[in-house]
Structure 1
């Protein structure tokens, strides 16, 4: 059975409707303390690679449940007045998560183009990484 729409099309459609930040733009928000960075990666990725300093871990699979105030799993951080910047390893999960969060009424919200990989390549602040 051929899928009607694949991940590439989903990403392309999401990118049309969301705010995508270049690393430099995200870093400026980070330095100014004007955004809450939300890490969507799996805990194993975080333990292996570290995380953006001060970020909040929100596993991608829990996003909808944590954002929705009517959910028994709602996290209060999503009711606070933040500029939410989502990131994952490479920017795919975060693009789709940004679109979903935006559709659920979370605002303002954006994601980092290239994700944590791009952040790290630009030598931006990270915690938790222990070079082997």
Structure 2
């Protein structure tokens, strides 16, 4: 089956429309209370690879529903007056996500080039995924 639009093309098109930060630029923004890093990776990736301290986890499959205030799945963090910097493992999912949420009206938004892989390679801080609290 011939694809009419490849994922590589989709990512390239998204990257032409969005703002991107390097790992170093994202690191400099980490302590800023007006910035929220958003980790789009699957929970298994978080458990296996670790997390960026302070990043909010929003699985890629739910992001459109979590950012839309009209959705029953809306997460209040996305209603806060912050810049949202999305990242995934390599930067592909975050490029597509940033383009999507930007088109939905979430602003300001950006993505971190190279994703968590580049974060780790740069020696940026990584923590273990916090254990889920037991339900009472």
TM range (shorter): over 0.9
Question: How many residues are treated as equivalent by the alignment?
Answer: 129
Using the TM superposition, give the Cα deviation of residue 31 of structure 1 relative to its aligned residue in structure 2, in angstroms: 3.8
2:35 equivalent in structure 1 = 35
- What is the rounded CA distance, in whole Å, between the counterparts of 1:4 and 1:61 in structure 2? 23
After TM superposition, the structure 1 = structure 2 runs for residues 15-94 of structure 1, keeping only pairs within 5 Å, are 15-94=15-94
After TM superposition, the structure 1 = structure 2 runs for residues 104-119 of structure 1, keeping only pairs within 5 Å, are 104-119=104-119
For structure 1, the 5+ residue unaligned runs are none
Using the TM superposition, give the Cα deviation of residue 91 of structure 1 relative to its aligned residue in structure 2, in angstroms: 0.4
Using the TM superposition, give the Cα deviation of residue 115 of structure 1 relative to its aligned residue in structure 2, in angstroms: 0.1
- The answer to which of 36-45 and 1-10 deviates more is 1-10
- What is the rounded CA distance, in whole Å, between the counterparts of 2:35 and 2:113 in structure 1? 16
For structure 2, the 5+ residue unaligned runs are 130-136
TM-score (norm 2): 0.91
2:8 equivalent in structure 1 = 8
Using the TM superposition, give the Cα deviation of residue 33 of structure 1 relative to its aligned residue in structure 2, in angstroms: 4.2
Runs (4+) of structure 1 exceeding 2 A deviation are 31-34
| Alignment CA distance shift 1:33-1:122 (3 Å) | farther
- What is the rounded CA distance, in whole Å, between the counterparts of 2:78 and 2:35 in structure 1? 12
